[in-house]
């Protein structure tokens, strides 16, 4: 097991190439693996980014996993679930590590006390020296003082396991890192500050970026629901201008309503409040900036609509809170089954169909799934093929014998690669789970995976699927402790999934 893996969620931005190049050029020992999670929408075609092909020094350690395209929280979960390292270092794809980042990362992690669950790196935002920063540059510069920002944040894997990783109900890069840190601390871990540093350039943005970023206000409702009224204080998040935005928005609504009702004096009063609030906001943003014509124009235009955008998104967050607070866990539409140790007795590197023996009760459990209309598939690692211990033909003969004994099992997804091949399919990577969901025509979160090892559980969680572990003699105690659901046997696992058992 390596000491640390690095996880990089990405939408394929050109900055990914600069990040990988900086890691390749950095002094010190490389991480065990660099896990790049391609979180582009499913419709995105072609390679992740031709310009970001890993440098030769990194290539043997880089693996690319496919995310689900539902936000950075889910993408980071895909990455760390595929890691077996003691620590997982998360970095954004638009940062550039310093030359000594690897050395300082190793120092930061090696000196942590056992009760420290994470180490935060330093973020440096370069600001032009020949002029005051723009509003956008000041916004990005806030990362330099933000607490627990995943631009550079390393967590002990045990700490991530203890809280289930990132909460995927946070769909954007806004509060998901603060939420994780608060939950890790609530679980009894301490968080420390390290000495490593990354640069986070304030790259160019269009005129309306500040308005679009107000969508993050919707996540504050969930933060309060999860962490209570004082969450801002504990997370080090300033209160901001929410109350002023509500007043300005109310004044704008009053103005419009009064005009429709032909109440001119009331419309004039509302308009005066709206204009005063807008002017105050605009000047607060213009005064510390460069005051160029383009910057002033941008501040005037965006300040006129920014309070309304913030208020509407905040209201939407509260209105949608009941739905976001639920963690639905109904009957799955598809069940994906491991083969050895789950469906049949585990015979290492078995290439002989005569040695196939179903686990007790397997046929009956599968018949219950079929009767319930649940789709089936098999997802199995068979590294014996890569190691030359059995052939594809032998493996196929064994698989056919399994179906002869247990009935039709749906499509088979087999990974013939070895642990060091860096493929996307070998569990704990989520490749086979994602492929099975796509072929079966269901979403990954509508699937459940049943297996006997931590790799089965990790692959399911990385894909967003439900996981049920069936421990046996080779299942490690730590894997059992980390599993979200455990059943005594295949029949018990099926009963859980069909809602027949607590």
List active site positions. 338, 340
**Chain centroid to CA 10:** 11
H or E element at residue 140: helix 135-141
For residue 22, give the DSSP letter.
H
Give whole-number Cα distances, 28 to 31, 32, 35, 95, 253, in Å.
9, 12, 18, 19, 59
Quickly count helices (H) and strands (E) in the chain: 19, 13
Residues 176 and 157: their CA atoms lie apart, in Å, by: 17
Give whole-number Cα distances, 227 to 57, 76, 183, 221, 239, in Å.
43, 21, 8, 10, 15
Query: Helices 490-497 and 362-371: crossing angle, nearest 10°?
Result: 20
Give whole-number Cα distances, 464 to 53, 265, 431, 437, 444, in Å.
27, 56, 12, 11, 6
H or E element at residue 466: strand 466-469
- The answer to whether the CB of 91 falls within 8 A of the CB of 165 is no
Q: How is residue 368 written in tokens?
A: 């219950």
CB-facing half-sphere around the CA of 460: CA atoms within 13 A: 31
Q: How is residue 186 written in tokens?
A: 């609530």
* Alpha helix ranges (H) inside 360-423: 362-371, 392-406
**Backbone φ and ψ of 54, nearest 5°:** -60, 140
Per 3-state DSSP, the chain is made up of helix, strand and coil in percentages (nearest 5) of: 45, 15, 40
For CA atoms 150, 153, 157, 159, the dihedral sign is: negative
CA dihedral 357, 360, 363, 366 (to 10 degrees): -120
Of 375, 386, 374, which is closest to residue 418 (Cα–Cα)?
Answer: 386
H or E element at residue 451: strand 447-451
* DSSP track, 177-240: HHHHHHHHHHTT-EEEEEEEEEE-------TTHHHHGGGGHHHHHHHHHHH-TTHHHHHT---T
Q: Is 372 exposed, middle or buried (0-12, 13-18, 19+ CB in 10 A)?
A: middle
Residues 179 and 165: their CA atoms lie apart, in Å, by: 10
């Amino acid at each position: 097991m390596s000491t640390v893996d690095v996880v990089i969620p990405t939408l394929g931005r050109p900055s990914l190439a600069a990040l990988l190049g900086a890691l390749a050029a950095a002094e010190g020992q490389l991480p065990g693996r660099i896990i790049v999670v391609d979180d582009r929408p499913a419709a995105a075609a072609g390679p992740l980014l031709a310009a970001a092909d890993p440098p030769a020094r990194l290539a043997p350690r880089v693996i690319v996993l496919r995310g689900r395209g539902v936000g950075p929280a889910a993408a980071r979960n895909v990455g760390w679930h595929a890691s077996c390292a003691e620590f997982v270092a998360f970095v954004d794809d638009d940062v550039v590590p310093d030359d000594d980042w690897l050395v300082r990362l190793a120092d930061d992690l090696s000196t942590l006390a056992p009760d420290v669950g994470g180490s935060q790196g330093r973020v440096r935002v370069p600001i032009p020296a020949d002029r005051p920063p723009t509003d956008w540059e000041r916004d990005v510069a806030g990362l330099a003082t933000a607490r627990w920002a995943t631009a550079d944040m390393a967590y002990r894997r045990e700490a991530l396991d203890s809280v289930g990783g990132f909460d995927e109900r946070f769909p954007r890069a806004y509060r998901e890192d603060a939420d994780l840190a608060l939950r890790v601390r609530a679980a009894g871990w301490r968080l420390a500050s390290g000495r490593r540093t990354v640069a986070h350039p304030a790259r160019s943005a269009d005129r309306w970026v500040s308005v679009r970023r107000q969508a993050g206000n919707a996540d504050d409702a969930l933060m309060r629901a999860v962490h209570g009224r004082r969450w801002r204080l504990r997370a080090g998040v300033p209160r901001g201008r929410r109350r002023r935005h509500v007043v300005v928005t109310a004044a704008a609504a009053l103005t419009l309503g009064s005009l429709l009702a032909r109440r001119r004096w009331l419309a004039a009063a509302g308009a005066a409040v709206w204009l005063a609030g807008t002017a105050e906001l605009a000047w607060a943003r213009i005064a510390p900036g460069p005051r160029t014509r383009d910057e002033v124009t941008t501040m005037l235009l965006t300040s006129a609509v920014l309070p309304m955008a913030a208020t509407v998104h905040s209201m939407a967050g509260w209105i949608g809170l009941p739905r976001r607070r639920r963690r639905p866990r109904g009957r799955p539409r598809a069940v994906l089954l491991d083969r050895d140790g789950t469906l049949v007795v585990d015979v290492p590197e078995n290439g002989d169909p005569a040695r196939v023996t179903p686990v007790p009760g397997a046929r009956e459990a599968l018949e219950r799934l079929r009767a319930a209309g649940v789709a089936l598939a098999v997802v199995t690692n068979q590294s014996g093929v890569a190691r030359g211990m059995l052939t594809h033909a032998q493996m196929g003969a064994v698989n056919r014998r399994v179906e002869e004994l247990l009935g039709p099992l749906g499509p088979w997804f087999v990974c013939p690669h070895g642990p060091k091949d860096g493929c996307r399919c070998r569990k704990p990577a989520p490749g086979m789970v994602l492929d099975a969901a796509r072929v079966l025509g269901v979403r990954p979160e509508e699937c459940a995976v049943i297996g006997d090892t931590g790799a089965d559980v990790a692959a399911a969680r990385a894909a967003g699927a439900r996981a049920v572990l069936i421990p046996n003699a080779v299942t490690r105690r730590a894997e059992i402790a980390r599993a979200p659901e455990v059943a005594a046997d295949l029949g018990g696992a099926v009963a859980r999934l069909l809602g027949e058992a607590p």
